[in-house]
Amino acid sequence: KVVPLIAASDEAQRSLLDMFEERKRGSLEQYRAILTRTRRDNTFSEFEIVSRRLQQKLEARRGECVQKKPSGGGPLDFATLRSQAGEAKPRFDKFIKAVATKCGATHSTPPLKGAWRAIEKMALRVESAGEKCGALKDGPLDASPLCDVLRGSLQCKDFTMLVTALEELKALDSEFGDVAQARGLTQRIRLLRIKDRFANPTSGGWADVLVNFVFEDDATKHVVELQLQHNSLLLVRKEGG
């Protein structure tokens, strides 16, 4: 009910945008300086090459980066999606821990995304320019675009470690990789999408790499998200609040 009211009020929109811009300026000031220094790392250029090549390989799979809808069609409800995520979480957590060990990174496997944040994304998300957001469309909200209900992260000390993580994940992809190069890991995955936010940071200045994939033998084909983070930016986020 809130979204249509705001959509109809220029004053409400201006007020929210002013608040957003104020918060964004503060965030950008903190992140920009450290990101510039971080990019001066000697191995950043190697990371860029590896990231770009893998993104090009995955371009044909972008349409797969969405949760499977019910067999009868129609929107996917969040409760069903979260149930799938809960069933896959033990396996996912174990996998992320194993990848972190092979790469020398620190790992984190937070709880499943909560309902309020999921509703916010479903209600406000716009798939393409000129399209209505979810809250202004007819029918129930659709959870199929949510690919980060089950998520984890690798905290990397430098871009060399980030490259190692990307190559490890590529090696486990049955089409692009070679499991013999996966340093002992055997779990097969299908990479779907990579977002390099070191090249294109968020509007607030945050930068990392988002990797979406599914476990190849997962019947539900639940899309998960792995965040590859740089310790320098994590320090700023933690200390800057």
**Residues 16-74: tens digit of each pLDDT:** 999 999 888 888 888 998 999 999 999 999 999 999 999 999 999 989 999 999 987 78
pLDDT of res. 91 = 97
Look at residues 214, 237, 241, 238 and name the one whose alpha carbon lies nearest to residue 226: 214
pLDDT of res. 117 = 93
Local confidence band at 126 (pLDDT 50, 70, 90 cut-offs): confident
Q: What is the pTM of this model?
A: 0.90
* SS3 call for 153: strand
* SS3 call for 111: coil
Cα separation, 116 vs 82, whole angstroms: 13
More confident residue, 90 or 186: 90
Helices 159-171 and 44-58: crossing angle, nearest 10°? 30
Q: What is the pLDDT of residues 131-169, one digit of tens each?
A: 899 999 999 999 999 999 999 999 999 999 999 999 999
Cα separation, 33 vs 205, whole angstroms: 10
